[in-house]
Structure 1
Amino acid sequence: MKGEVGAAEGGSERAAARRVFKVTAAGWSQRARHEERMRAGPTRCRPEPVMGFHCVCTTMPGSLPVNAEACWPKDVGIVALEIYFPSQYVDQAELEKFDGVDAGKYTIGLGQSKMGFCSDREDINSLCLTAVQKLMERNSLSYNCIGRLEVGTETIIDKSKSVKTVLMQLFEESGNTDVEGIDTTNACYGGTAALFNAINWVESSSWDGRYALVVAGDIAVYATGNARPTGGAGAVAMLVGPNAPLIFERGLRGTHMQHAYDFYKPDMVSEYPVVDGKLSIQCYLSALDRCYTVYRKKIHAQWQKEGVDKDFTLNDFGFMIFHSPYCKLVQKSVARLLLNDFLNDQTPTKENGIYSGLEAFRDVKLEDTYFDRDVEKAFMKASAEIFNQKTKASLLVSNQNGNMYTPSVYGCLASILAQYSPQQLAGQRIGVFSYGSGFAATLYSIKVSQDATPGSSLDKITASLSDLKARLDSRKCISPEVFAENMMLRQDTHHLANYIPQCSVDDLYEGTWYLVRVDEKHRRTYARRPVLGDGPLEAGVEVVHMGLAHEHIPSPAKKVPRIPAKTDSEAVAVSLSNGEH
């Protein structure tokens, strides 16, 4: 009898759930997740603040509350963001002289001012270690609050071992090894794919209440020639969770994927890609067209359900940011979106306004205009004000540091957050176009939180990036001759075993992770340059070579995880220090 009553009660609850969640294309998954949680039984919710953030570890792993509506994550998106770029750069105007090309070829033709680059002391692992640890420290986060860690990169130094597993060394002191996620690779799109995975995890029945952490990082280098000035390097780490200031709009992603050999890296022993420049531009612009078309259809359908009957246009974005191989392509991309809007506009000819003087192009086909100079010139002129208002500020990092590959578009996001106040950003829709050669692309949108009050999550994320321009200005300018020597050193020593880097650690920012050595089995050892003085990043490094002389950098901070790298002839260990997690 008791079982029958329980079954009846359970049946009535499920019947009620079915009435709430009708089986539709949009609602099926929500209903399924809801019923799965009901079957899981009661759980324990215990929200607790964690050093500046409210840790979202609210349930026991593996289950969520029966009341799905009350506990389902709201406003999932980017909670915090940290960007890292090298401490040295080469001036593009000086590089033009050194390369013997016409003045303005790089600075005007590409729209680039400076290009950051790495010495042999930095690799993809060290870049990501630096970005992740700085994000955690700046926001006073515990590593126990991370339940998923994803890496997006195309800088591959091991065909089996992921960057993510190297980053797990940062988690050792916390004892947290229950961390899902792995690396994702497809040219410059890997960071976006990793970010989508993290967003989807938080919004799924697999979510255990903890944050996801995504890091996109790359070192972009090219052989001597026309492509070399489009290089760069850096990493962006992003904390993903609910109640975010940068909210990913559900159902609003336009994706296009297709096969092409526009840019690829078939040589396993070289960092340099094979590039078909003209095809790469065509693929980028065609992907932009396709993604924008799909995005517009999806948001138009949402608007119609809300009783709004209008076409979506570029003006409906408060800001529009792009993957930026070089800044001039981004400016052309804004013009491209205006061309799409123009061809989609069914209203009669407008003598005035943004389309004034463009009627001669009314019958052009998008696929015929990728390299049409007349179309490009006309729409770049017509879209100039839109570019200045919605996109230009996003190119700060791209212009000053170059193409970072996977983190490129997120460097653009950081640039926006660094240059606008919370009040200016609140409620804005940010369009994001991510592209990776081969090729894969998505155009999606982020809605900025309306809450711009002091101490809000939006206020915190903008404050954390307020020093971005000062950090760019603090870098050291390196001559083109020394830059070329560095590139040759990287080329000659790429993937060498039993190698100790030659460049100075003193040239790195304080708090930067760096490569100590590669042993004869290609195992890499890293250390962190200490931060001198007070601050949340205060740290030190002790490097111990067993059986050899000791190199010691004293630290006032406590010691945390040891990273062993033993060889047959010696054992090498790095003892790291950092502040409270």
Structure 2
Amino acid sequence: MTVPMNASTSQDVAPAARPSDVGILAMEMYFPRRCISEEELEEFDGVSKGKYTIGLGQKYMACCDDREDINTFALTAVTGLIEKYNIDPKSIGRIDVGTETIIDKSKATKTALMDYFADAGNTDVEGVDSKNACYGSTAALFNAVNWVESASWDGRNAIVVGGDIAIYAEGSGRPTGGAGAFAILIGPNAPLPLEPIHGTHMANTYDFYKPKLGSEYPEAFRTKHAKAKKAQGLSGPAFSLADVDFPVFHSPYGKMVRRRTPPRVQRLHRQPRRPQVRERARPRGVAAQPYKASLTDKNLEKTFMAIAKADYDTTVEKGMRCARRCGNMYTASLYGGLASLLASVEPAELKGKRISMFAFGSGIASSFFTIKVKGDTSEIRAKLDLVARLESMKLVPCQEYVDALTLREKNHNAGSYVPEGSLENIWPGGYYLESIDSKYRRKYARREKA
């Protein structure tokens, strides 16, 4: 794949034709260097064996200390994308960031990226941050794609960045933490173009939220009870989920995807849109009941899980590599799933296929959209090198994770602060927080590459 470098500046640019096949040209993932074992965490926490590994479907969880924040995540992901694909920074006309990790109530994470682009002579870069729990990255993606497809497009490409550090207070929520980020290049004639119609549902709920700015921890942890009520897919009678080859889901922890989403997919495969024929779509042996009541019926859920198992293992599981190793990445979870799929399926098998993407963010915001694989994904797969990189993460004792969270608590909202975390825990070439001054200005540095 050749990444198009369209214009060095936005001045005097007049695209010759309207762009087509706008979507993903290139992709990079970032995750911390360390992780812990969820099986070891069960023993460390003194809970029953299988509570996290089976009950939550988790294997490992990424962790980081006070040397990293959302700005270092974004900087490392973006520079990794630019350097791996030899992208001219002047060819970027827009950067959209999606994150729910807040370190400033006003200043966008996107601004932290601008030092890199300003040094390259490019300060004409549109876009700021989008925030709504885990959905912000999808809002950022839609913004970037819409910009390229709009009359405002100046011929340059866009970058979308998403990522978070998901951490919880001691208790039942802690094993569902994790961390990670992604950066993707958006432009025309992409091998992974987004299809234009989205199915969206939004409402005002308090299933998960962070009202206390004095803490990184959420106020409530009820994500497993949050339900997106309109995952109906693309509008129009011609489309059904039978048209999807590989579904990718927001995956804060593995069991949510296995327990909640596959039953929904099976329900959508089997249940026609017309209410008058819904009854015929029910599996045999399941008592007829109102549709809303069926959404929380445990027996029905188990029935659908059994129906979905074979499809799950051959399709959904291929998008779970990042989730299994890194845990919950909030805004990066869905796109870590996409990267996992690209790493798990041979490019020749992917070409011509359709990928569905289900984005969810508590509060709530949700969208269902699709990507049609029109080009060769070999270069993306090779440069992600995802399988080897995930396996190279350092497995550390659970006490080290607790110590890392203690350092983060100490650092939160601190001024005149020098982080204490070891630079050995930063990947070579990764960014880290060097200091915070008395005016709460953050200084970042980059670790030398190996």
TM over 0.5: yes
CA distance in 2, matches of 1:343, 1:424: 29
Matched with 1:396 is: 321
Q: In 2, are the aligned partners of 1:94 and 1:480 still within 8 Å (CA)?
A: yes
> After superposition, what is the alpha-carbon deviation per residue over 1:57-103, rounded to whole angstroms, capped at 9, x for unaligned?
399647636xxxx6110100011000000000110000000111110
Q: How far apart are 1:392 and its partner, in Å?
A: 0.6
Structure-2 change in CA distance of 1:496 and 1:424 (3 Å):
same
Q: Does 1:261 align with 2:261?
A: no
Matched with 2:5 is: 55
CA distance in 1, matches of 2:226, 2:279: 31
Matched with 1:497 is: 415
Structure-2 change in CA distance of 1:483 and 1:282 (3 Å):
closer
For 1:283, the aligned partner's letter is A
Q: How far apart are 1:345 and its partner, in Å?
A: 7.5
Matched with 2:386 is: 468
CA distance in 2, matches of 1:339, 1:473: 35
Q: In 2, are the aligned partners of 1:79 and 1:238 still within 8 Å (CA)?
A: yes
CA distance in 1, matches of 2:278, 2:142: 40
Among 66, 70, 73, the alignment partner of 2:19 is: 73
The gaps in structure 2 that reach 5 residues or longer are none
Matched with 1:283 is: 226
For 2:358, the aligned partner's letter is F
Matched with 1:184 is: 130
CA distance in 2, matches of 1:271, 1:58: 40
CA distance in 1, matches of 2:340, 2:278: 38
Q: In 2, are the aligned partners of 1:58 and 1:209 still within 8 Å (CA)?
A: no
Among 482, 496, 500, the alignment partner of 2:400 is: 482
Matched with 1:36 is: none
For 1:99, the aligned partner's letter is D
For 1:141, the aligned partner's letter is I
Q: In 2, are the aligned partners of 1:510 and 1:531 still within 8 Å (CA)?
A: yes
Q: In 2, are the aligned partners of 1:349 and 1:359 still within 8 Å (CA)?
A: no
Q: How far apart are 1:358 and its partner, in Å?
A: 1.7
Q: How far apart are 1:52 and its partner, in Å?
A: 4.9
Structure-2 change in CA distance of 1:162 and 1:348 (3 Å):
closer
Among 14, 24, 32, the alignment partner of 1:64 is: 14
Matched with 1:334 is: 262
Report the structure number with the largest CA radius of gyration.
Answer: 1
Identity %: 46
Matched with 1:373 is: 298
Q: Does 1:317 align with 2:247?
A: no
Q: How far apart are 1:510 and its partner, in Å?
A: 0.5
> After superposition, what is the alpha-carbon deviation per residue over 1:337-385, rounded to whole angstroms, capped at 9, x for unaligned?
21233332888999xxxx8x92233733332133311001000001111
> After superposition, what is the alpha-carbon deviation per residue over 1:396-429, rounded to whole angstroms, capped at 9, x for unaligned?
1001110100010000000000111210110111
For 1:134, the aligned partner's letter is G
Higher RCO, 1 vs 2 (CA within 8 Å, ≥6 residues apart): 2
The gaps in structure 1 that reach 5 residues or longer are 1-50, 304-311, 453-457, 533-581
Structure-2 change in CA distance of 1:225 and 1:54 (3 Å):
same
CA distance in 2, matches of 1:460, 1:233: 25
TM-score by length of 2: 0.95
Q: How far apart are 1:459 and its partner, in Å?
A: 2.3
SS at 1:361 equivalent: coil
Matched with 1:429 is: 354
Among 372, 386, 389, the alignment partner of 1:447 is: 372
Q: How far apart are 1:282 and its partner, in Å?
A: 3.7
The alignment covers a number of residue pairs equal to 447
Structure-2 change in CA distance of 1:506 and 1:313 (3 Å):
same
